[in-house]
Structure 1
Amino acid sequence: MTEVLRSIGQHEPRQTNHVNSPLRQSGLTSTATRKISYDQTLIPSWDRVLDIARSYLVYCDCQPLPLFHRQTFLRTLDERDPEIIYSILALALRYFSNPPLNDFDDIPTAAASYTEAARGLVTRRVLGGPVEISTLQSLCLLSIIEFTNGNIHQATIHSGLALDLARCANLALDPVSIQDDVAKEERRRCFWSICLLRRLHGEEVHILDFTSQDCLPRYPKSTGEAPNIDGLDPSGIEARIVRRMKDEGIVSYVLLLSETFSRTAAYVKRRGKPNNFPPWSPESEYSKIIALQMDGETRMPYTHRFKYANLDERTLEDLQSNRDYWGPWFLNQFMYHTILCLLNHPLLLSLVLRNHKSVIPEIFLQHSSDMLASHTTWILHFVRYFAEKGFKVSDPFLGYCVAVVATIELQLSFTEDAAIRKNKQERFKTCTNFVRDLGKEWPHMAKMAEKLEALNGAVEASYVPYAQAQNKTLLIDLSRFWEILDYSSSVSDTTNSLFGPSLYLGSTTRVPEVSNTSPLPQPTRIGSSHSTPRQTPRNSNFMAQNVSQNMDTGLLTTPVDPYDDQFSMLAENFFTQGQDFIRNPEDWFSTGNL
């Protein structure tokens, strides 16, 4: 890394000779005289660069960012600015199977060197110009790299800088002066990639801050091949709806749903802090997010819905050869289900409902229980599907979605029903293994898997069955949950903070968030003859049979938190959730899907 910085910083700026360079100018590179120097010896042979770029197209393009014009990407690679080359090498190298590269002994060392080289060139452009489309594209790639390495401050600065530069450059507009369709499309892809990146990392992006409602930029074109639904009965209602709905491509619906996810991420950051509006109120953020998601779903064409994907009939070759479609499609599915898992997370709901414990409508409790049962099972279905097909997932955001489900399955596993506990623990293990496998390429997913294991140990150590809970004080550390549910904080490595001690006040050690409380009495349950009746009828609950799904589902027990502390929870209440959210976890796929 030091060698790279020396090669960038110690040479006098010179004009690059693009006649003999593989990085010659074109419509996608700078038209101004270059004042940026770089060390071409860092770049491996051009054949190897192309091999790594092909890996980028397979495993990184539209997984998640639709950053480049796919059809011309390889053909124009030798015409692009050097910071793009370095950034692509740094990101896609993890999927390249033939190291070493030049003088580098291993992939992490090479990737770190390419990252520093790209950052040095981008910094020079931002400070001295000219800033080009390549500058913003590189900032997007660098932000992903830093985020996945746990350097949240650097990642946020890179993506925030790209957003500010895009705003200053009017990137949201399609200027009439640009006649080249490829250049126009790449501008759109760059703009929307910046928005998607910010949203996935938990930052809200308001498009109307860039332009008016009448001048919203077009969504990028989707390049993958969507499922063929020509076999629909032409006289049926679905066929008539298909003919009526405009299909803007799967990438556009990912971008549409990402707005809902960013609002959900903001909801999670509040850590269930209660307010004057209960979640069933139309004025609550819970209801507004649900309404936004429903509105987005009405715009989703049948072409891209689960029903017509025919996943069971698809071979690994089908999926692998069309990853630029299936990558965004799976991202859309995971984002959709994760939003509803987060909104109905038993921990978050318990905290939100503290101020309304005596007036909770049973229909809301039934609704939230059913939503949780459905959407956690959908994500687990996809995880098992990937394993059965041997499909390699390369989008790290899917690992976060699975980690969210893991926290729910862990919480529900602490029950005195041995069969339920075993099933939930198996589901938790399935989720953790999926996240750990992603950690082979993405460092922040490896840390996420470690945090899930640590959370399992911490919660298990706090669990005391009802029969043993009399006259004992129980502790639950909720900070371990926030480290996973809040995506931006879940990958943060404060030891590598960008800021010095005179400015950054964040703690470098995790502070447990706990509360000392007394356990609740054993609740009364319908069908349990040995239960001791509860003296406070407002906290009673019942089991309901959902006929259409052939499953048992219960209601969320209303929590009691006398300390009203948003960072802690009565342990007995926490574990009561696992008793109440009882359901049949196997293959429930008739509802709740896109």
Structure 2
Amino acid sequence: MEDEIFDYAPRPSKKRVRQACEPCRRKKAKCPGEQPVCSLCARLGQQCLYADERRRPLSESSPRPNDSDLRAPRVLEDRLQNLEGKLEQVLDVLGGRNEPQRQAAPLVPPTLSMTGSSVSLPPWEEIVPIAELYLLYCESQPLPLFHKDGFLSNLQTRDAELLFAILALGLRFSYDHRIRADFSALVTGYAEVARSLVMKRVSEGPVELSTLQCLCILSLVDFTNGNTHRSSIHSSLAMNLAQCANLGQEPRSSTSTTFREERRRCFWSICLLKRLHGEDFSILDIPDAPGPPYPRSPARPARFLSPGPSIVEMRRSDMEDEGIIAYVVMLSEVFARTARYVRLHGRPSNVPPWSPESEYSKILALQMVMETRMPYLHRFKPANLSERSLDELQAHREYWGPWFLNQFMYHTNLCLLNHPLLLSLSLRNFRSTIPEIFLQHTSDLISSHTTWIIHFINYLEEKSFLVSDPVLGYSAAVVATIELQLSFTDNATIREQKRERFTKCVKFVQTIGERWPHMARLAHRLQRLEDAVSATYQSDPEAQNQSLLIDLSRFWEILEYSSNSDTDSARRLFGDTLYAGSSSAGTEVSQTSPLPAPFRLSAQEGDTPNIQSQSFDNAAFPSQDYAANSLVSPQQLTLSNDGYSILAANFFSQGQEFLRSGDNWDSIGNF
């Protein structure tokens, strides 16, 4: 940017303050030194008193004390100052032995000049509240970057680029983000300064742990601002630096507990960042690094009404508890593999999804393995959400934030694997050989896990719990696409229910979009998808226009969370010599029709099979019915590439019998 001028020259230093006032000295705060009242005490409305004032000459009208009265307090004060000086020397020596020397935050921060305005670190009393917001709403939601206990106490010793990055992210949760007209420019300015400083440090050194922490935050900021390509560059750079520095191994030298914990948290945050943004990253990708221990997790908050463990929890306490953050990291591996599965756009394979060798089955098996590793303590039932008040949830966000993320990822994985659109495209080579049990399996999973996410959305809204993790918004968007597709049915009851659930999901995404720009764009994409699909729908199949198409790219831009195909992101980053433009839509059109509903036993008809789709009964939720035209079928599919459009006539057509007409339905499922 030619109009940007970076000025890192230090400003003329102020005259060193020889003595701090008593309130600042007691608080270990940096005293400006103005007399008779320093500016910090004036802002805080507290009495400002300097030690020298006790030794100033008294006026002639005042009674003069004798020498013994003056000598005693003076001697005590000198001895106290001498002890404080020795104590500081001892603490400095101990700190040098425990952990590497950290560069203190500069007194005069770097400044970024942008079109006549400058961005610099605000006063310290403004930085601390924003850092507290970051700790409350961003830490472990989703990235567990920092050790909570020492975060605020050592904040002033952290590098300037990290402070700017924390400001850029934490400001989104301040009150100013709604009332300040220059809020967006201020956040962008903080992020640009942080990026300039961290890149300068990478090129010139020394690279510190704070460098990697800053890259993680900048990657998250860029991703949520729609700069997905630059976000990927930042996270990949952080991972490469972590590999070069052997961050995946525990340090051999003796270090403090806080420093060791932040190394672990930084390593796993980089892994989590790569996975959540759609990259199938495995710890095995790092040679000779099994990975450090998982970050320390907060304990599950005790129940207010009955704080003791239940009989079931006590019976299963033999399983080692690695902490809720550890299970989020574990499940993120399944999330990343599912994201890769989605990017295939249902590309056909010679292996059907019900085969143990299929990617569908492998991901499903991996999720079940991860589930067996999580103790019962962190599951849904023992959480007793109905007994938790908003104050309880808010006071323990460090636990409930990762807990909700774990729940949403778990159900989202299963919704994506069994997404009607993806299944229809992946089954195109198998036409009339789909097993009935597979239809039942996918129908039950879609019914159950979309309802779970709707249940959590309702709960969070009822509790007025501020959702600060954008991944939860993506989960709601996935469910919204399913509910929209299932809403086009002749059954008025089902249609109304699906429309209501779709609207609820969109509203949830919009609320999160108030602080995360990419969620606001996602909500807009959902509304565009609804308009596009609704415009092509005709309730009468005979009247359906055979030339109308449904653009599948509108589905992919929602289902692909990483959205690295975003042309705007690529255009902003690459020049003309690299940018090749967006790919053109294919000319092939997929001709589809809905899958028939799985056969169920009707309660009214006893053992007589009935072609009716009913969801698996769940004690926690009411059952729901799915119409026969709820799933898209591979019948007459003529797709030779990824498929950019579907004939609306086939997309909305009634279910067709493509299974063999001579099948004995009484024998199916009775092995």
Q: The TM-score by the shorter chain falls in which range?
A: 0.7 to 0.9
Q: CA deviation at 1:349?
A: 0.2
Residue 342 of structure 2: which of 260, 268, 271 is its match?
Answer: 268
Q: CA deviation at 1:525?
A: 11
Aligned to 1:198: 274
Aligned to 1:116: 192
Q: CA deviation at 1:466?
A: 4.0
Aligned to 2:400: 326
Residue 167 of structure 1: which of 243, 251, 256 is its match?
Answer: 243
Aligned to 1:348: 422
Residue 474 of structure 2: which of 400, 424, 432 is its match?
Answer: 400
- Which piece of structure 1 moves more, 37-46 or 374-383? 37-46
Question: Is 1:309 equivalent to 2:383 in the alignment?
Answer: yes
Q: CA deviation at 1:526?
A: 9.2
1:20-71 Cα distance to aligned partner (Å, 9 max, x none): 998x998777657999994267111111100000100111011000000111
Q: How large is the RMSD of aligned CA atoms in angstroms?
A: 3.5
Residue 39 of structure 1: which of 110, 132, 144 is its match?
Answer: 110
Amino acid paired to 2:296: K
Aligned to 2:456: 382
CA distance in 2, matches of 1:198, 1:525: 38
CA distance in 2, matches of 1:461, 1:18: 71
Aligned to 2:552: 478
Q: CA deviation at 1:436?
A: 0.9
Aligned to 2:433: 359
How does 1:234-273 map onto structure 2 within 5 Å? 234=311, 239-241=314-316, 243-273=317-347
Distance 1:95 1:232, change over 3 A: closer
- Which piece of structure 1 moves more, 556-565 or 319-328? 556-565
Q: 1:62–1:328: 8 Å Cα contact kept in structure 2?
A: yes
Aligned length: 557
Distance 1:524 1:319, change over 3 A: closer
Aligned to 2:143: 65
Structure 2: 5+ residue stretches without partners: 19-28, 31-91, 112-118, 601-609, 658-671
Question: Is 1:368 equivalent to 2:442 in the alignment?
Answer: yes
Residue 131 of structure 1: which of 183, 201, 207 is its match?
Answer: 207
CA distance in 2, matches of 1:322, 1:397: 19
SS in 2 for 1:356: coil
Distance 1:578 1:129, change over 3 A: farther
CA distance in 2, matches of 1:330, 1:286: 25
Structure 1: 5+ residue stretches without partners: 528-540, 581-594
Amino acid paired to 1:473: S
Amino acid paired to 1:288: K
SS in 1 for 2:154: helix
CA distance in 1, matches of 2:653, 2:264: 49
Residue 500 of structure 2: which of 408, 422, 426 is its match?
Answer: 426
CA distance in 2, matches of 1:14, 1:198: 43
Q: 2:594–2:655: 8 Å Cα contact kept in structure 1?
A: no
CA distance in 2, matches of 1:204, 1:569: 29
CA distance in 1, matches of 2:400, 2:655: 34
TM-score normalized with structure 2 length: 0.76
Aligned to 2:166: 88
Q: 1:279–1:285: 8 Å Cα contact kept in structure 2?
A: yes
Q: Greater CA radius of gyration, 1 or 2? A: 2
Aligned to 2:487: 413
Q: CA deviation at 1:561?
A: 3.9
Residue 177 of structure 1: which of 223, 243, 253 is its match?
Answer: 253
Residue 503 of structure 1: which of 565, 575, 578 is its match?
Answer: 578
Distance 1:412 1:7, change over 3 A: same
SS in 2 for 1:473: coil
SS in 1 for 2:248: coil
Distance 1:512 1:496, change over 3 A: same
Distance 1:92 1:5, change over 3 A: farther
> Higher relative CO (CA 8 A, sep ≥ 6), structure 1 or 2?
1
Q: CA deviation at 1:72?
A: 0.4
SS in 2 for 1:6: strand
Q: CA deviation at 1:313?
A: 1.2
Question: Is 1:6 equivalent to 2:6 in the alignment?
Answer: yes
Question: Is 1:494 equivalent to 2:569 in the alignment?
Answer: yes
How does 1:12-31 map onto structure 2 within 5 Å? 31=102
CA distance in 2, matches of 1:400, 1:135: 29
Question: Is 1:441 equivalent to 2:515 in the alignment?
Answer: yes
CA distance in 1, matches of 2:507, 2:594: 36
Among the aligned pairs, what percent are the same residue?
52
1:244-269 Cα distance to aligned partner (Å, 9 max, x none): 10111100000000001000000001
CA distance in 2, matches of 1:325, 1:426: 31
Q: 1:414–1:578: 8 Å Cα contact kept in structure 2?
A: no
CA distance in 2, matches of 1:232, 1:251: 21
1:149-176 Cα distance to aligned partner (Å, 9 max, x none): 1001110000000000000000000112
Aligned to 2:233: 157
Question: Is 1:542 equivalent to 2:611 in the alignment?
Answer: yes
SS in 2 for 1:569: strand
Q: CA deviation at 1:553?
A: 4.8
Q: CA deviation at 1:90?
A: 0.4
Question: Is 1:78 equivalent to 2:156 in the alignment?
Answer: yes
Q: 1:435–1:445: 8 Å Cα contact kept in structure 2?
A: yes
1:378-432 Cα distance to aligned partner (Å, 9 max, x none): 1111111111111110111111111011100011111111221111111111111
CA distance in 1, matches of 2:352, 2:647: 20
Aligned to 1:282: 356
Aligned to 2:175: 97
Distance 1:576 1:479, change over 3 A: same
SS in 2 for 1:489: coil
Residue 574 of structure 1: which of 651, 654, 658 is its match?
Answer: 651
Residue 564 of structure 1: which of 627, 639, 643 is its match?
Answer: 639
Amino acid paired to 1:172: G
Aligned to 1:534: none
Distance 1:169 1:227, change over 3 A: same
Aligned to 1:52: 130
1:131-161 Cα distance to aligned partner (Å, 9 max, x none): 0001000000000000011001110000000
Q: 1:473–1:518: 8 Å Cα contact kept in structure 2?
A: no
CA distance in 2, matches of 1:34, 1:232: 46
CA distance in 1, matches of 2:281, 2:353: 24
Q: 2:419–2:482: 8 Å Cα contact kept in structure 1?
A: yes
Q: 1:274–1:355: 8 Å Cα contact kept in structure 2?
A: yes
Q: 1:478–1:512: 8 Å Cα contact kept in structure 2?
A: no
Amino acid paired to 1:150: G
Distance 1:199 1:185, change over 3 A: same
Q: CA deviation at 1:575?
A: 2.7
CA distance in 1, matches of 2:16, 2:209: 18
CA distance in 1, matches of 2:521, 2:597: 40
Q: 2:274–2:280: 8 Å Cα contact kept in structure 1?
A: yes
Question: Is 1:143 equivalent to 2:219 in the alignment?
Answer: yes
- Which piece of structure 1 moves more, 545-554 or 371-380? 545-554
Distance 1:275 1:51, change over 3 A: same
